Amino acid sequence: MTTESNELKKVVRETYGEIAQHGKSAASCCASTSCCSTTDFTFSDDYSKKDGYLADADLGLGCGIPTDVANIRPGDTVLDLGSGAGNDVFVARSFVGETGKVIGIDMTPEMIERAEKNRQKLGYANVDFRLGDIEQMPVASNSINVAVSNCVLNLVPDKRKAFAELFRVLIPGGHFAVSDIVLQGDLPPAIKRAAELYAGCVSGALPKQEYISLIQRAGFQHVEVMKEKRLDLTDELLLAYISREEIDTYRSSGAGVLSITVYAEKPASPCCGAAKPCC
């Protein structure tokens, strides 16, 4: 692992550790110390009416609701990548019921501690939080029916490895639903910088098509963007970085920052995958 990757993970771990201890006002979802937002902006959708919702587990750090399109069934084993305080885990648990299982992995000890306290409050015996890295998951191969993740993979330094790990842990025929941040079109450097300051998650974002291609190259099939929404950068924010004329050019270009929710399946055939693309 490179020094840059290690430093990135260190900053993310420290940032989310602060959030776990002090709440979502402590910091933004930053991937570098230079991108941290002081605004109260969030991509997060409203979970409050969802079955399984627990307010203490909702830190407002997501950028979608992946469980809405994850096709989770009773009895499934579900994995949440970057589970935080447990928000998506507890919503997923409402789908799997008593006969299923939900595993959350997170690389921040403080988040695991907070999530475990939430689990104990709810008394769930079939929810398991594990300290671990998405690039090297503490999860057995071919053991997961459904995986979800919410605004986390964009912060992972090696996204290729993350999707390869996701492919490894899913059963043949398993699937995932991931909400994440991507870029659309040619984003001018000044506007990308403004977006990073506004919502720190943008700093790790890939162009949308590159993100989709990574998923496909990992061996997944039936890749589909199920939901998409645009980050509205206000004129007031942008005027701190660019001129009014440049803003008008940006508005008419179609470029921007998006939150997408992607669904994809691991082929059921054992011969298929990144190493054996025979499908």
* Digit-coded pLDDT (tens) for 10-66: 666 656 656 656 665 544 443 333 333 434 445 678 999 999 999 999 988 889 999
- How many CB atoms are closer than 10 A to CB 88? 33
pLDDT at residue 178 greater than cutoff 60 = yes
Q: How many helices and strands in the chain, by DSSP H and E?
A: 8, 8
pLDDT at residue 279 greater than cutoff 60 = no
Question: What's the domain count of the chain?
Answer: 1
In contact, 177 and 91? CB cutoff 8 Å: no
> Does residue 130 sit in helix, strand or coil?
strand
Q: How much is the mean pLDDT over the chain?
A: 84
* 119 Cβ neighbours under 8 A, 6+ residues apart: 86, 127, 129
Mean pLDDT of 164-181: 97
With respect to residue 16, please indicate whether it lies within any of the assigned structural domains. Answer: yes
pTM for the model stands at 0.85
* Of residues 231 and 11, more confidently modeled: 231
pLDDT at residue 213 greater than cutoff 80 = yes
Residue whose entry in the numeric block shows the structure tokens 């999530």: 115
Q: What is the total residue count of the chain?
A: 279
Predicted confidence (pLDDT) per residue in 247-261, tens digit: 888 888 888 889 999
Backbone angles phi and psi of 181, in degrees to 5: -105, 130
pLDDT at residue 98 greater than cutoff 70 = yes
CA–CA separation, 84 vs 151, rounded Å? Answer: 11
In this prediction, residue 35 carries a pLDDT of 36
Mean pLDDT of 206-211: 94
> Does residue 106 sit in helix, strand or coil?
strand
> At 269, is the pLDDT very low, low, confident or very high (cuts 50, 70, 90)?
confident
Q: Which two tokens stand for residue 240?
A: 């701190």
In contact, 43 and 151? CB cutoff 8 Å: yes
CATH of the domain at 129: 3.40.50.150
In this prediction, residue 28 carries a pLDDT of 44
Mean pLDDT of 148-157: 90
CA–CA separation, 1 vs 217, rounded Å? Answer: 21
Mean pLDDT of 189-216: 78
Q: Which two tokens stand for residue 131?
A: 């300290």
In this prediction, residue 37 carries a pLDDT of 41
Q: Which two tokens stand for residue 155?
A: 């912060």
Domain range holding 50?
Answer: 3-265
> At 240, is the pLDDT very low, low, confident or very high (cuts 50, 70, 90)?
confident
In this prediction, residue 51 carries a pLDDT of 96
With respect to residue 275, please indicate whether it lies within any of the assigned structural domains. Answer: no
With respect to residue 270, please indicate whether it lies within any of the assigned structural domains. Answer: no
With respect to residue 139, please indicate whether it lies within any of the assigned structural domains. Answer: yes
